[in-house]
Amino acid sequence: MSQTLSDSIARPKILCFADSRFSSFALLLTIIGLYGLLSYRIVQRTREIAVRMAVGAQRSEVVAMIVKEWASPWFSVGLLFGHGWQYFSIAGSCNYDL
C-alpha cells in the first residue's frame, strides 16, 4: 500500500519540483530585466539628473523622482499579486507530505 502511494505521487512530485524551479527562474529573469530597464532609463536621463543636481537638488530628491517613476501603484500591486499567486499555487499543489 505504501509503495503504491509512493509510486503514484512520484511523477507529480518531480513535475511540481521542476515547475517551481522554472517559475523561480522566470521570476529571476524578470527581476534582471527590470533592473536592465531601470539602468537604461537612468543612463538616458543622466544629463537631466546632472542639471538637477547642479541647480541644487538633493540626492534624496533625485532618488525619489526615480522611485516615483518606477514604483507606481500598478507596478507594486502587479508584482505582489504575481509573486503571491505563484507562491500559493506552488505551495498548494506541491503538498505531498501525507
pLDDT of residue 17: 77
CB contact set of 23 (below 8 Å; sequence gap of 6+): 86, 90
3-state class of 94 per DSSP? Answer: coil
pLDDT of residue 77: 65
Q: pLDDT tens track of the chain, all 98 residues?
A: 566 656 666 677 777 777 778 877 887 887 888 788 888 888 998 999 999 999 999 999 998 888 888 776 667 667 767 766 666 665 556 665 54
pLDDT of residue 59: 92
Residue whose grid cell is 499555487: 89
pLDDT of residue 60: 93
pLDDT of residue 98: 44
Cα atoms in the 13 Å half-sphere on the side-chain side of 42: 13
